[in-house]
Amino acid sequence: MTSHKAIVSGISGRYAIALFELATESKALDAVESDLSKLKAMLEESAEMRDLVSSPLYSREQQSKGVAGVAKAAGLGDLTAKFLGVLAANRRLSALGATLTAFDKLVAHHRGEVKADVVSARKLTKKQLGDLEKKLKAAVGHDVAIDASVDESLLGGLTVQVGSRMVDDSLKTKLNNLAIAMKGVQ
């Protein structure tokens, strides 16, 4: 557990470590990871789900029933459903998003991967993601798990963050830099 503390911290980190250790002990790491991936997508897509986990207006019982219903409807495994129940019972559902991120970090570390956050102007194809993964692996020297997202305000290009290193090759940044350079010419 000591090595886990260096990777994640805070309340979300403690819950992620507990779930990670339970999943590892019960040899259900892949199943739990899949369940949490579904949960992450639900949080991103559903305003009602975000409201359920973050609003203090819902009672402990309402949140418990709500997440139990979500777990059943989404076909989540027993361990994941129980974990959501514990979060609801302890009034920690608001930490779910951060806990999912912390769990991803633990899994990546367990597999010897480095996580890369990639933001692009448009959704990347599987081929583009594969090519990017190969290039990042060559640059970093480790397997790379890409967490891709879309931000249309970038206009074009992408930004890549691996650990503390960030490469911003977006059209938006290039245009902003050009605008700053042009102001200096006047």
Report pLDDT for 185: 65
- Report, as an integer, the average pLDDT of 103-108: 89
Number of residues that this document lists for the chain: 186
Give, in words, the CATH class of 2-108.
mainly alpha
Report how far residue 131's alpha carbon sits from residue 141's, in angstroms, rounded to the nearest whole number: 15
So where are the chain's domains?
2-108, 113-185
pLDDT band (50, 70, 90) for residue 4: low
- Report, as an integer, the average pLDDT of 141-166: 86
pLDDT band (50, 70, 90) for residue 86: very high
Distance of CA 18 to the CA centre of its chain: 17
Report how far residue 157's alpha carbon sits from residue 174's, in angstroms, rounded to the nearest whole number: 10
Report pLDDT for 31: 95
Per-residue buried b or exposed e for 113-124, using 16+ beta carbons within 10 Å of the residue's own CB = bbbbebbbbeeb
Please name the fold of domain 113-185.
Glutaredoxin (3.40.30)
- Paired tokens of 158: 């992408």
